[in-house]
Structure 1
């Protein structure tokens, strides 16, 4: 076979090659969000139904690809859970459902019973954020659970009597009731979320509880 014939054969075979070569390249981080036309999964529909059954006001969000591997799929914006919450944006419905149950059935009664006052506001450091995991020096970079709206960071609790119980200041409080309150709600979170990270885990979590709906069993 001549050299020209071999070249033509190689070109023909490459034209018939696998579909991987025809996939669109990954979208760069920070590019304009693209709305995805995806069917709502059965899991997400069940989650919406659970929130509605509990009387939670929420708004389903469109599925979006933000580039760089960051997406928000099956997400909601919580509007009213019966307790004011600061700092929340869109989050996957499973995280929202776990957070609502935790706030209503763990935080509220624990504060009333252990601190003698009702929680009137929960402060957070947000939900969705297109970024990598922080605090893992020396390890390969990987996307955080926040990059898919699958995590929420909780930083403080405001009580009716005016006290502000914060993770940063009070995790090792001199007041045993405050310490016990924070340890109790962390233990409850560990039963509701796959990954729960606190100041006991590493320095990156000195000021918040990281709650992630990832079906893991890691509580620190």
Structure 2
């Protein structure tokens, strides 16, 4: 039985590479807002790069419903290029705004090939909703110390998404803040499995063990240097 369970979990991780109790919503992560351009965003003109066109095609091939968004410069270093609005990826993810296509593509793969199989295998229930803390917001990096001072967050480029919890068909809500160190070993393992799965798809994956600013959510982005923590 143990060998069968190990094999099943290994398959979940391989695919990702190609409770109860208090139900209150956790507070969103802290932000360091940057003032956008007072006159409003500037729409940028130009041809869509080939890699962005390919990304759009990949989403369409995966039967993802989405709307391409215009490229915009919001000022203060917050520029959104090659972004989409995700409409339907098969599992509802609330709180999403503009998100750059490669990050959207990674999110779709993570939900379909990491989160959903892990929930069925470990928790015996399907995921019916994922609660996010959003994607685009013009702000600086939070919790990065002096090295991050004055730098625009990947959220300011619509290149990141924060995930707070997972709602299951049986009514449970698995919260990263509350359940990362849950007394239920299957819940703990589920969160660690989906965290490792994200590391295989996003450039940066941060969780509760990274720092206090990420105690209640996973942060995923497609910028900077590879980091899985």
Coarse TM-score class (shorter-chain normalised):
0.7 to 0.9
Matches within 5 A, 1:49-68: 49-68=57-76
CA contact under 8 A between 1:193 and 1:215: conserved in structure 2? no
Q: CA deviation at 1:215?
A: 6.0
Please, what TM-score do these two structures have when normalized by structure 2? 0.82
Q: In structure 1, which of residues 108, 123, 140 is the aligned counterpart of residue 116 of structure 2?
A: 108
Report how many residues are paired.
Answer: 193
SS, match of residue 90 in structure 2: coil
- Alignment partner, residue 175 of structure 1: 184
Map of 1:181-220 to 2, 5 A cutoff?
181-214=190-223, 216-220=225-229
Higher relative contact order (CA 8 A, sep 6+): 2
Q: TM-score, normalised by structure 1?
A: 0.86
**1:25 equivalent in structure 2:** none
Question: Is the 1:60–1:75 contact (alpha carbons within 8 Å) kept by the matching residues of 2?
Answer: yes
Structure 1 runs of 4+ off > 4 angstroms? none
Q: Give 1:44 shift.
A: 0.4
Aligned residue number for residue 151 of structure 1? 160
The answer for the alignment partner of 2:139 in structure 1 is 131
Task: Find the partner of 1:84 among 80, 92, 108.
Answer: 92
Which string of whole-angstrom CA distances, capped at 9 and with x for unpartnered residues, describes residues 194-216 of structure 1? 00010100000011100001263
> Separation in 2 of the partners of 1:101 and 1:202?
26
Local SS of the residue matching 2:110: helix
Q: Which consecutive residues of structure 2, in runs of 5 or more, have no partner in the other structure? A: 1-34
Distance 1:138 1:74 in 2: 30
CA distances 1:9-55 after superposition (whole Å, capped 9, x unpaired): xxxxxxxxxxxxxxxxxxx7343111000210111000000000000
Query: Whose Rg is larger?
Result: 1
Unaligned runs of 5+ in 1: 1-27
Q: In the alignment, which residue of structure 2 is the partner of 1:75? A: 83
SS in 2 for 1:192: coil
